[in-house]
Amino acid sequence: MITEKMLEGENIRLGYFAEKDLENILEWHTGELFMRHLDAVPVKPRTKDDLKKQWLEETSDAFRFAVIHKNTEKVIGFAEVNGVLWTHKTAWVSLGIGSEEHWGKGYGREALQCLIDYSFNELNLHRLQLTVFSYNSRAIRLYEKFGFKKEGAFREFMERNGQRYDMFLYGLLRREWQKSPE
């Protein structure tokens, strides 16, 4: 019998995005620090219509979840499995906690645990992969804690404030995750 709540942590749950969440998402996308950790493209203003297409429309190879704080029912971030190659049982994962007030409280850890559980136990994937910028040390520590292995580097991939940074490729196999202490 399956009794475990796969999409729920102690403080968060993974749910769906609704149109009412666009205000929160728009706020994240105007935060330079969040965007500089999320994407290599230059930070630029976004409209609700832009974000609606990106965040609310479903695709066949992506599973996008809202990270919802259980006490407030407020959407505080996103967790996503995308680029699924079903033949090879491989996918990309990404995660972001939107506003700084929610950083450092373990919500990202809980969301990543739920996302990995979902990927391996529900989608029956074999491999997860992600990229992370070399200056995002908090995210790197989190990924390594869950057993992700650094598999390569896109050297001097991007320039921010006159300095070059690498983008790292990390991967996690199902068998490595099953051995992970997390």
pLDDT tens across 53-79, in order? Answer: 776 676 667 898 999 999 999 999 999
DSSP per-residue codes, 92-151: EEEEEE-SGGGTTSSHHHHHHHHHHHIIIIIS--SEEEEEEETT-HHHHHHHHHTT-EEE
Residue 2 is predicted with a pLDDT of 43
CA 12 to chain centre: 14
CB distance 171 to 138 below 8 Å:
no
28 against 132, higher pLDDT: 132
Residue 170, helix vs strand vs coil: strand
Please tell me which of 20-29, 30-39, 134-143 the model is most confident about, judged by mean pLDDT.
134-143
The torsion angles phi and psi of 116, rounded to 5 degrees, stand at: -65, -45
Q: pTM of this prediction?
A: 0.87
Cα separation, 106 vs 108, in Å, equals: 5
Using one digit for the tens of pLDDT, what is the confidence trace for 73-126?
999 999 999 999 999 999 999 999 988 889 999 999 999 999 999 999 999 999
Residue-range domains of the chain with CATH: 12-179 (3.40.630.30)
Closest among 175, 180, 174, 179 to 144, alpha carbons compared = 180
